[in-house]
Structure formats: C-alpha cells, structure tokens
Structure 1
Amino acid sequence: MLTSCDDPPSAEPSDETSLGLRFPKGFVWGAATSAYQIEGAAGIDGRGPSVWDTFCATPGKVRNGQTGDVAVDHYHRWSDDLDLIKQLGMSSYRFSVSWSRVLPDGVGPVNQRGLDFYRRLLAGLHERGISPMVTLYHWDTPQALHEEGGWENRDTAYRFADYAALIAAELGDSVPVWLTLNEPKTVVQNGYLTGVHAPGHKDPAAAYVVAHHQLLAHGLAVQAMRPHLPAGSRIGPALNLHPCYPADNSEGAQEQTILYDGYENRLYLDPIFRASYPADVMADVARFSPMASYIQTDDLKIIGSPVDLLAVQYYTPIYVTADGSTIFKHPTSQAFWQQIYPQGMYDILTRVKRDYGNIPLTITENGLPTPDALGGDGMVDDPGRIAFFRDHFAAAHRAISDGVNLESYHVWSLLDNFEWQEGYDERWGLIYVDYASQRRIPKRSARWYSGVISANCV
C-alpha cells in the first residue's frame, strides 16, 4: 500500500508543487538520452556515418542547418556528465549505443575504439552506483546499411540481430536492462511518411514494410541476445504510446478512434505481446502498402519472442474526429505537437495492464521543452517543467496504486541536446547546456527532481 510523504519535497521558493505522494520502496528514478543527440564526435575514433549525419547535411532538413556533429560533446565529457547524474541522486541512466560507432558500416569488423567508449561509460556508471539501461537502436541506422535498402530491406533485421548479439556478448555483464528498438513508430511516421526525420522519405507503401522489418529486428535481437546474457538480465522494446480518444460523442469519431489507436499502439503492442497484427489495421494498410506480402512464415512467432519488460514513452494524447483527422483539446508545449495531459499517462499505463497483462513497466521518456534562459543570477528557472513532472509523476503514482507494475521512471532528458529536426531550438533537459562553451548548469527542475528522488515522494 502506498503512503504519503512524511516530509514532501518543495520547489523553491514555494511548496505549491508538493503533493505528498510516496512511491513504493525500491522505485527507481533516472533520466534518459540518446547517442546522436548528445555524443558528438561524429567523425572521431572510427565512427561511421548514420542516416542522421546524412539527413543533417542535406540543406533545409534541420532548423538553422544544425547537426549533431558536436551535440553536447558527451563523447569527451561523459565523466563530468555521470558526476551530474550522481549528484542529482539518480540510480538509473538510460542511454543508447551508436550502431555505426561500433560497426562503422553496420556489419563487418568491430571498431574497438567505439566499443571501448561504451566500456568506459558503463564502468563509470558502476563506479558511481548508477544502473545502466541500454538502448541498442535510437534511429541512427548506419548509412552504409541504408544504402543497401535500410529498413525496407529484410536483411537489415538480421544485421541488427548480429549487432545486438555482438553488443550483448561484449557488454552483457555490465548491463542489467536492454532495450532493443526505440520508438519504431516514429521511424515509420516521421522517417517514411512525413519525411521530417531521417531518412526523409515520404512513401506510405514503404513505411509499413519498414514497420514490419523493425519489429522482426526486435524479435530476432531478443533471440540473438539471450545466449550471451547472464541470468537475470532483462530485454524489452521501447514504445511511444499515445492514448487515443474520440474528439466528440459521435459514432464516427468512436470508430475512427479505434482505427487510429491501431496505428498508434496496437500495431506495435499486438505482435510483440500477442504474436499477431491487428486485423483492422492490416485491412486498412492493405489499401496502400504491400506490408502483408513481406510477412514470412514464423515472423510473428519471432516478433512475439518473450520479453521481460516494456519501456513506455508518453508525451501526448490524440483526439480523433469522425473524418479521421485530429484536434487539440489541451494546452501545448513549445513542441507544437505535444498536448499537456497528465491523465493520458494514467490511461496508457492502465490500458497496457488491462489489455496485455501484468507486464513489468518502466517509463523511459516523459518530458517537455520550455523556453529556458540563463538568468542574471546564473540560474535557469523552469517552473513549467516542474509542474509538468509533478502532475505526470502523480498520474504514474495513481496507476501504481491501481495495480500497474511500474518499476521506474526516466525523465527526458538529462541534458539539453540536439532535438532532431528542431536542431538546438528546443530545450528538453534537466540540465541547461550553454552550447558555445558546453558548460552544464542544473536547472531549478533538476534540483526539484533531486528532492523527489531523495524523498521518493512528490
């Protein structure tokens, strides 16, 4: 049974954000990042190019022509960044491995200097008492593999499994939790439907072939990694789940919401946890994509290989109209697409339990960008981020109270960083980065979060 806080944390200078909600003993608090967004060192120590290097180098693709070539230079500043994690009291850190830093062409000889970087990073985390959670793929497909067809090519799923087995064999003793793919849906929607992310395609027919091959890659990776991992190691996918609601009470809106939810959630959850694709989505996809013809015997059995946990990433709800379009019903953040709706966190967590069973869950991304600026006192005041986290933590607490098996919470993000097509215009971090000097400055939200962690209460 959850109890209230004896001494709940407060956000300076007032305590209006204190709710007095205690989390279960042993609940894990952390933060998340991804390789291309923070590492930099794009052409250093043998790293090969990824599709994001190519995308950023294409004029007009990224705001202000910015790239992740330097990002926040985590490749060189990793030790100081781990010190910040330790100082804030976090006990878990989720990061991703750059596939092309370890295998410059996606296949072939290992780049030992790249692999050694992750060895140093893992050793540094363990020295500080911080548990690593490692994502194998966070959108940065090696460019060499993309030129051979990328995720449209079934062979890429097998090359990913080879890479996953290699990393598990080399680093498995140091990593208790592995995440295979980060948000395959975002690659499908942003990379192949709208083209706003790498590789920048606008091809609905190919997009859902890509969806299947990514899911196949997930299942193959789970199978390939198991023999290399010690007992107790856990593996799962990281899915961004969007609760979908009818925009009104009309029958049409309700029907369209079911289908929309299929594309947003069930298309990824069903094959992983039920070894089947949702029939309504497959019937609709068949109108414009040959996805079904790419599904081979035993593919769904492979995709449905048992996993140990599900990483949930929640940012926004979706409201669907009778004509299948969407509307906004809540205030938005600086990210035009993000509606701020903490209830959606509760709804998606409880929905996963209701529909897919009592799966161990971890939140691996949740956050928002705010208009952060360095004040005259040398501090960064971001009350909007504190309010956002307070309310989403409360929603997660309520889900736990109602029986959801939620083990941990990783906020997005540890540091301000390269925000994909938005370049450096949006700041999502707990820690402010002065990009000119690479100086790190914890924001007020970081200090508040540290208090939450220390008390295990919000």
Structure 2
Amino acid sequence: MTSPFPHLRSDFEFGVTTSALGIEGGADREGRTPSVWDAVAAAPGRIVDGTTGADAVDHHTRYGPDIDLLARLGAQSYRFSVSWSRVQPGGVGPPNPAGLAFYDRLLDRLLEAGVDPWVTLYHWDLPVELMMQGGWLDRDTADRLGDLAVVVADRLGDRVRRWTTMADPVLHMGYGHAVGVDPPGLTLLGEAIVVTHHLLLGHARVRAVLAGGGHQVGIANHHTLVGSASDTPADRTAAALYDSYHNRQFTDPILIGRYPRLLQNLLDRQDGLVQDGDLAAISAPLDFYGVDYFHPTTVAAAPENNSIPFAIIPTPDRPVTDFDAPVEPAALTAVLVELTRRYPRLPPLFVTENGAAYDDRPGEPDTARIEYLRAHLAAVDDAVAAGADVRGYFHRGLTDAWEGTEGYTRQFGLVAIDPITGERTPRASYEAFRASIAGHRGPPPG
C-alpha cells in the first residue's frame, strides 16, 4: 500500500482534539461548580448567540457513541481535557469522587475501543473561586494547578500515558487577560506578562508531578506564521514584536529558558515576578511539543498613540473560511520547520490541533473542510520532508462544540450535531479523514 503522505512515519498518529468546556455539558451534575466561563456566559451579551454551554453537546452522557465514532474513524488517539471544577470543585481541597468517576468511565471505554487517551490538565476553565482569589495574577494559582495534577494522576495515571499540561496558554493570556475578549475579561495589555509567567509556572508544576513513571509530558500552544504587511521598517518592527508576543512568549522560556528580548521591557516593569529557579523549572525537558495551528497572521504598524503596538490586518490574496480566517497550508509547514530550526532542544512535534470552521448546511458535503484537512495533512508531510520531526496530527474536533464566546455559531466538527436532538451525523469530512488514515496506516480493525 502506498501512503498519500510518503514522508510520515509508519507509526504516525492520527487523532482528534476536544475540550471539556466545548463538549461535556453536565454543568450542574456530579458536584461540578462554576468555572469563569459559566460566570461570563450567564451575563447578557457576552456570548454571540446567547447560549451558556451548560449542556455543550452532552458528551458527558453520550461519550459512548462518541467513542464509537472515534473507533470507526480509525483514530489512534483522543486528546481531551478534564474539567477542573468537576474534578476539584472550587479549585482547592479534596477531589470529587463523582467527577473523577466520569473520567474513569471515559478512559475505560476509550481503552476498550483501542483509542489512546491524551489528557490535558488545563484548558482555560478556571474555577470561579480561584478567580476571586486573583486567578492567574496570583502566583499561588500555579501551585493549585499542580495540586490538580496530583489528584488526576493519582486516579487516572494508571491508564493515561501522555499528558498535556495546558492548551494554548498564549491565547488564554491574550484573549482573557490582555484584551478581555474571553473570561475573565481583563484588559491588562502588556501587564498580562504576569499571567504569562504564572501560567508557565503552572506548566512547570504539572510537568514536575507527571514526569517519570512511564508518562510522557508536553504542552500544546497556538502558533501562527507572522507576515509583515509591507517592507517598511515600521511594519517589519511590528511583525517582529508580534512574533515574539505570539510565537515566542511561551516557547522561548520553555525551550531555551529565557524570555524573548523584545518582551524584556515588560518584565522589567514587574519587579520580583521572575524568582530564582523559575526559569529552570519552566525549561525542564519535555517529551513532546504540541503545535496548534489554524491560519497565518499579517501584521502592520499600529496607528499613532494606539495602546497596542501592532495591528492585525487581513492576509491578502488568500482564500478564507466562512468566518474570514485565511487558509494557507504552507504556513503550517513553515511553522513546524521554523520551530525545528530555532530550538535545538525541541522534542518531537505533534500537531495537536488543526481545523477550520465552516457554516455547513445540513445534507451538503463539506467540501471546503475536506480540502482544508487534506491540504494541511500534506503540509505536515512537507514539513517532515524538510527535516521536522512530526509524530502525529490531531483534528479539531470530532464533533461540533460550544465555541466559547462564539457559542454554537461555528462548526469545526467532523461530525455534525443536531441542535435540538443532539443526534450525531458524520460529515463527508469524517469519511475523508477516515480514508486518509486508512491510506497511511491501513483500515481500522473490524
């Protein structure tokens, strides 16, 4: 059999990625307490379609059929997050047995289906009680995340081999704490470097808990290929600053043990933020590094007296998704190759999240999503051919989901969800991904 992706390893992993916030539902079941997202979603006007995500897509009760879909797809791996408020209500204190029992059932069913679970410890759903105590502005929150890791590892660690400390911390810092689009809605701008450092400490605490014992530990962060709007010095300077902000603010401390030079002025304003031993802990070796990629970004100089020193503008001459995200598969290749070039200590790479939202109509083939998927798989193959050590690809997501501030208005899933009945219907892209997996690895058993 000839693979459509000739440069990928024979044991290259294909999987899907989800988050507890987006799919679980059951917000008031089994002792779960509110997260910052529950609090914000309850406020009028914060979610574009007025939904709260309390039910999400009811994976909490429909996980069995969802896992059957994973198995039929041929996915080797399933990356999901635990709900902090379900496992440890309030974010401190003893674990919640009923909440942990849900993840027991989920793991056992995954393993029965032959699907390898990847657990993400933190995907933005901070318990409200911890936010009231300062949230990620408080250094102690990093220790509380370490406590969560102990609870989860003690209960689930016998069945979970690979762990992601957190997902997309640069977006959580930026959208939630710098510009205030997401919860907790803070507009700290450059002062959000405090949140960056405390998130990195949280990553370090989780890594220290999970390392060893046969576990593999990594992080998944959002990356983009940054382009300058023009060759003018002002635009090029703005693009370089944005690259440091978005692509290097977390990755440099993790992989080389220091912050980017262009962000040093932000650190200099925060006396005592970086303490002795912090960067050594943050840069402890990882078993893999996860890249979440969706689109490139074009940057121009900001207007004079703007509070943000760069401006993101539409990327020219590129097709876009139904929600105006530019589509450029070659940018994924470039991101993977650039990470390989920039960081000598880079562990094996996984594309831990990639996908596109389209406004699909029921019964119509989602041709654009299929083209996006195939082109980005080919881009990963190109990156491997160019020397990047990429070991796997995870699509976002298995099903449609509740997408935070966008509610249910954006569909990323390989499987459509009926908004009334919750019925799962595989899209044409599900079959296309299934065929791609089978074309590389052979058809799934059964």
TM-score (norm 1): 0.91
SS at match of 1:364: strand
- Counterpart of 1:428 (choices 412, 416, 421) is 412
2:195 is the counterpart of 1:210: yes
Partner of 2:236: 254
2:324 is the counterpart of 1:352: no
The amino acid across from 1:68 in the alignment is: G
Given that 2:95 and 2:151 are in contact with CA atoms closer than 8 Å, whether structure 1 keeps it comes out as: no
- Counterpart of 2:170 (choices 179, 185, 189) is 185
Structure-1 separation of matches of 2:229 and 2:87: 46
Partner of 2:362: 374
Query: Which residues of 2 match residues 131-146 of structure 1 at below 5 A?
Result: 131-146=116-131
SS at match of 2:379: helix
Structure-2 separation of matches of 1:300 and 1:274: 9
The amino acid across from 1:331 in the alignment is: P
Partner of 2:286: 307
Given that 1:179 and 1:238 are in contact with CA atoms closer than 8 Å, whether structure 2 keeps it comes out as: yes
Structure-2 separation of matches of 1:355 and 1:124: 40
- Counterpart of 2:76 (choices 91, 101, 114) is 91
The amino acid across from 1:421 in the alignment is: T
Given that 2:146 and 2:206 are in contact with CA atoms closer than 8 Å, whether structure 1 keeps it comes out as: yes
Structure-1 separation of matches of 2:428 and 2:270: 47
Please report the RMSD computed on the Cα atoms of aligned residues, expressed in angstroms.
Answer: 1.7
Query: Which residues of 2 match residues 121-136 of structure 1 at below 5 A?
Result: 121-136=106-121
Give identity over the alignment, percent: 38
- Counterpart of 2:145 (choices 141, 160, 183) is 160
The amino acid across from 2:354 in the alignment is: N
1:249, distance to aligned residue in structure 2 (A): 2.2
Write the deviation string for residues 305-345 of structure 1: whole angstroms up to 9, x where unpaired: 21111010001111222443232222322334x21111110
Given that 2:417 and 2:425 are in contact with CA atoms closer than 8 Å, whether structure 1 keeps it comes out as: yes
Partner of 2:312: 326
SS at match of 1:407: strand
Query: Which residues of 2 match residues 20-419 of structure 1 at below 5 A?
Result: 21=6, 23-204=8-189, 206-226=191-211, 230-231=213-214, 233-283=215-265, 285=266, 290-291=269-270, 293-323=272-302, 324-328=310-314, 329=316, 330-336=318-324, 338-357=325-344, 358-375=346-363, 380-419=364-403
Given that 2:193 and 2:267 are in contact with CA atoms closer than 8 Å, whether structure 1 keeps it comes out as: no
Structure-2 separation of matches of 1:286 and 1:170: 38
Structure-1 separation of matches of 2:158 and 2:387: 32
Structure 1: segments with no counterpart, 5+ residues: 9-18
Given that 1:382 and 1:445 are in contact with CA atoms closer than 8 Å, whether structure 2 keeps it comes out as: yes
Partner of 1:445: 429
Given that 1:21 and 1:457 are in contact with CA atoms closer than 8 Å, whether structure 2 keeps it comes out as: no
Write the deviation string for residues 239-271 of structure 1: whole angstroms up to 9, x where unpaired: 001111222222332222221110011111110
Given that 1:282 and 1:292 are in contact with CA atoms closer than 8 Å, whether structure 2 keeps it comes out as: no
* Residues 1:261 and 1:56: Cα distance change in structure 2 (over 3 Å): same
Query: Which residues of 2 match residues 4-15 of structure 1 at below 5 A?
Result: 6=2
SS at match of 2:294: coil
Write the deviation string for residues 372-422 of structure 1: whole angstroms up to 9, x where unpaired: 1212xxxx4100000001111111000111221111100011110101111
1:292, distance to aligned residue in structure 2 (A): 5.2
The amino acid across from 1:350 in the alignment is: V
Per mean C-alpha deviation after superposition, the further-off stretch among 381-390 and 357-366 is 357-366
1:194, distance to aligned residue in structure 2 (A): 2.2
Given that 2:5 and 2:440 are in contact with CA atoms closer than 8 Å, whether structure 1 keeps it comes out as: no
Given that 1:353 and 1:359 are in contact with CA atoms closer than 8 Å, whether structure 2 keeps it comes out as: no
SS at match of 1:339: coil
Partner of 1:454: 438
SS at match of 1:321: strand
Given that 1:192 and 1:200 are in contact with CA atoms closer than 8 Å, whether structure 2 keeps it comes out as: yes
1:205, distance to aligned residue in structure 2 (A): 5.2
Q: How many residues were matched structurally?
A: 432
SS at match of 2:44: coil
Partner of 2:306: none
Structure-2 separation of matches of 1:431 and 1:79: 15
Per mean C-alpha deviation after superposition, the further-off stretch among 67-76 and 274-283 is 274-283
Structure-2 separation of matches of 1:235 and 1:286: 28
SS at match of 2:166: strand
* Residues 1:446 and 1:187: Cα distance change in structure 2 (over 3 Å): same
Write the deviation string for residues 115-136 of structure 1: whole angstroms up to 9, x where unpaired: 0111111111110110111100
